[in-house]
Amino acid sequence: MLRILGRTGSINVRKVLWTCHEIGLDYQREDWGRGFRPLSDPDFVALNPHALIPVLQDGATVLWESNAICRYLAAKHGRDDLLPVDAAARARVEMWMDWQRSLDDAGSYAFHALWRQSPDHRDPARIAASVESFNRLMARLDGVLAAGGPYLAAERFTLADLVVGLSAQRWALTPFDKPSLPALEAYRQRLIERPAFAAHGSAGLA
Ligand SMILES: N[C@@H](CCC(=O)N[C@@H](CS)C(=O)NCC(=O)O)C(=O)O
């Protein structure tokens, strides 16, 4: 049985849980990270020297970095609908998965300030800058979806949508002023309809 280490509040843990759900994989999840077992625990650091969640243990295979874990699971289980085998098609999926890091970086400060109410994220100028760049990137995504779609990297749902979709959900639910982005909203609703999204899409949002 797969072992997944990480609290469900983490967006990066939820990528892995959502991927397992899409593939139909059973797993045992353990709560590690903020509010749970500390990532400085030597048993955890032995698995991930960077002391971050998620970690996946699949027999003798131990992996960290959420996007890499999602790709591993899709490839191992032959889900080339989620991660194509063709090099160019696969790279298109990976491109959007990599780009999601930019979304994370852009929105992180605003998310911690306005959703998590973190006392360490109270600088109004930094909140405003984070909101501005988060909105700007989401507006760009809206433009891409309006011109193409219905999904990001292919005619069908792929890992690109799973990963970017979690950030789109974070953007939609974190309270700050947002432009109207109809193509993005239609895309988010498309993702929300997936049973796996209902289970893992927004829980905790951390
Ligand atoms: N690039 C890494 C980032 C991992 C990361 O930043 N994880 C956060 C949670 S989203 C974490 O470990 N936070 C510390 C904690 O929860 O205690 C990945 O995608 O797996």
Is the CB of 69 inside a 6 Å radius of any atom of ligand 1? Answer: no
Q: Which two tokens stand for residue 95?
A: 């491109």
Residue 205: pLDDT above 60? no
Q: At what angle do helices 87-110 and 124-147 cross, to 10 degrees?
A: 150
Whole-prediction pTM: 0.96
Q: What is the pLDDT of residues 11-43, one digit of tens each?
A: 999 999 999 999 999 999 999 999 999 999 999
Mean pLDDT for the stretch of residues 143-160 = 96
Q: What is the pLDDT of residues 35-87, one digit of tens each?
A: 999 999 999 999 999 999 999 999 999 999 999 999 999 999 999 999 999 99
Q: What are phi and psi of 3, to 5 degrees?
A: -115, 125
Q: What is the pLDDT of residues 88-119, one digit of tens each?
A: 999 999 999 999 999 999 999 999 999 999 99
Q: What are phi and psi of 103, to 5 degrees?
A: -60, -45
* Average pLDDT of the residues of the chain: 96
Ligand 1 atom closest to the CA of 7, numbered from 1: 16
Is the CB of 6 inside a 6 Å radius of any atom of ligand 1? Answer: no
Q: Residue 205, class by beta-carbon neighbours within 10 Å (0-12 exposed, 13-18 middle, 19+ buried)?
A: middle
pLDDT bracket for residue 149 (50, 70, 90): confident
Is the CB of 34 inside a 6 Å radius of any atom of ligand 1? Answer: yes
Question: Which residue, judged by its Cα, is nearest atom 13 of ligand 1?
Answer: 52
Question: Which residue, judged by its Cα, is nearest atom 15 of ligand 1?
Answer: 33
Is the CB of 53 inside a 6 Å radius of any atom of ligand 1? Answer: yes
- Give distance in angstroms: CA of 146 to centre of ligand 1: 31
